Amino acid sequence: MSLLRVCVSAKCLSRRSVFAKCAVRVSPAERFRLFVSTRDGGVRRISETPLQLQRINLSLKILKRVDAKERVVEQSQLLEGTSSSRVLKARIQQLQPDGVLDVHHANVQFVKAPSSGRGLLSGMGSKEAPKEKTDVPKYAIKAKSKASRWMEKLTLEKKKNKLRTEEHLRQKYVKEKPSAKSTRSKSSSALPGTSYKVISNAAPSVKARPRPKLSEQICTAVSSAEAVHKGSKEKQNASAKEGKRRAEDQADAMEMEKSLNLLVAQWTLADNPQRPDGDGEEAAACGNIEPGLRSYLEALVFAGDVDRAHEFLLSQHRVRRRRKLLTTDFYNIMMRLWAKKGRLNQISCIFILLEEAGLKANLGSYCCALECMGRNPDCQRKLITRTLRQMEEDGLSVDDLFRHCVFRQDERDMVLKAVRAAQRNYKPPLQASAAQYPSLVQEFYSQRADHRYPKLDFTQEELQEHFGQQLRLEQNCTVTIDSVEAAKPVTDDMAKMRKLLADHRAQWQKVLLEALRESKRILANTDPKNYRLNLYPYLCVLEDREYVDIMIQSVASLPPSGESLKILGKDLGLRVYTKYCVQQKQQNQVVEKLRRIYGAYTELLAKDTKECALLPSEYWGKLEREQSSGPSLQRGETHWPFIVSLELGIYMVDMMVKNMKINSDVLNPALARKLIPILYHMYTFRNMRQVGFIKPHPILTQMQQDATESKLTFDTYVMPMLCPPLPWTSVKFGAYLLTPSKLMRTVDGATQHEVLLEQCRNLLPVLDSLNQLGNCAWIINKPLLDIIISIFNDRGSDKLDIPPPMSEAPKIPHFNAQDPAYTSAEKAHMKRDVIDVKKKCSEMHSLRMDALYKLSIANHMRDEVFWFPHNMDFRGRTYPCPPYFNHLGSDVTRALLLFAEGKPLGPKGLDWLKIHLVNLTGLKKRSSLEGRLEYANAIMEDALDSADHPLDGNKWWMNADEPWQALGCCMEIADAVRSPDPTNFISHFPIHQDGSCNGLQHYAALGRDVIGARSVNLMPSKMPQDVYSGVAQQVEEFRLRDAKSGMKVARVLKGFISRKVVKQTVMTVVYGVTRFGGRLQIEKRLKEIEDFPKEHVWDASHYLVRLVFSSLKEMFTGTREIQDWLTDCARLISKSGHTVEWVTPLGLPIIQPYHRTRNQSLKSSLQLINLQISHDVKERPDTVKQKNAFPPNFIHSLDSTHMMLTALHCYSAGLTFVSVHDCFWTHALTVDTMNKICREQFVALHSQPILRELSNFLLQKHCTRFHPEAKNKKYQEHRKLMLLLANVPHTGDFDLQQVKESTFFFS
* CA–CA dist 228, 181 (Å, integer): 8
Catalytic residues: 994, 1063, 1222
Task: Tell me the C-alpha distance between 413 and 592, whole Å.
Answer: 16
Residue 1303's CB: how many other CB atoms inside 10 A? 16
Helices (H), 565-697: 565-587, 590-605, 616-626, 642-659
Nearest to 470 by CA among 341, 598, 660: 598
Q: Are 856 and 481 in contact (CB under 8 A)?
A: yes
Q: What's the residue count for the chain?
A: 1307
C-alpha 243/C-alpha 294 separation (Å) is: 68
Q: Are 543 and 565 in contact (CB under 8 A)?
A: no
Whether the CB-CB separation of 542 and 580 falls below 8 Å is answered with yes
Of the candidates 815, 830, 895, 803, the one whose C-alpha atom is nearest the C-alpha of residue 858 is 895
User: What does the alpha-carbon distance between residue 1127 and residue 871 come to, in Å, rounded to a whole number?
Assistant: 28
Instruction: Give whole-number Cα distances, 158 to 149, 165, 206, 212, in Å.
Output: 15, 11, 12, 18
Question: Which residues does 706 contact at the CB level (< 8 Å), separation at least 6?
Answer: 493, 494, 497
Q: How many CA atoms lie within 13 A of 351 on its CB side?
A: 33
Distance between CA atoms of residues 679 and 662, nearest Å: 10
CA atoms of 1011 and 1220, how far apart (whole Å)? 28
Query: What 3-state DSSP class applies to 1307?
Result: coil
The three-state DSSP-derived secondary structure of 1213-1258 is CCCCCEEECCEEEECHHHHHHHHHHHHHHHHHHHCCCHHHHHHHHH
Q: Return phi, psi of residue 733, to 5°.
A: -150, 125
CA-CA distance, 1140 to 1132, in Å (whole number)? 10
CA 909, CA 1226: separation in Å to the nearest integer?
A: 11
**What are the b/e assignments for 156-169, b being 16+ CB within 10 Å?**
ebeeeeebeebbeb
* Residues forming a β-bridge with 1219: 1224
DSSP string, 994-1025: EBSSHHHHHHHHHHT-HHHHHHTT-S--SS--
Cα angle 490, 495, 501; round to 5: 135
**How many Cα atoms sit within 13 Å of 863 on the Cβ side?**
0
Q: How far apart are CA 755 and CA 746, in angstroms?
A: 12
**How far apart are the C-alpha atoms of 999 and 1009, rounded to whole Å?**
14
Task: State the Cα–Cα distance between residues 268 and 256, nearest whole angstrom.
Answer: 18
- Report phi then psi at 1122, rounded to 5: -65, -45
Partnered with residue 993 across adjacent β-strands are 1224
Nearest to 232 by CA among 273, 192, 180: 180
Q: How far is 846 from 844, CA to CA, in rounded Å?
A: 6
SS3 percent helix, strand, coil of the chain, rounded to 5, is 55, 10, 35
| 482 strand-pairing partners | 711
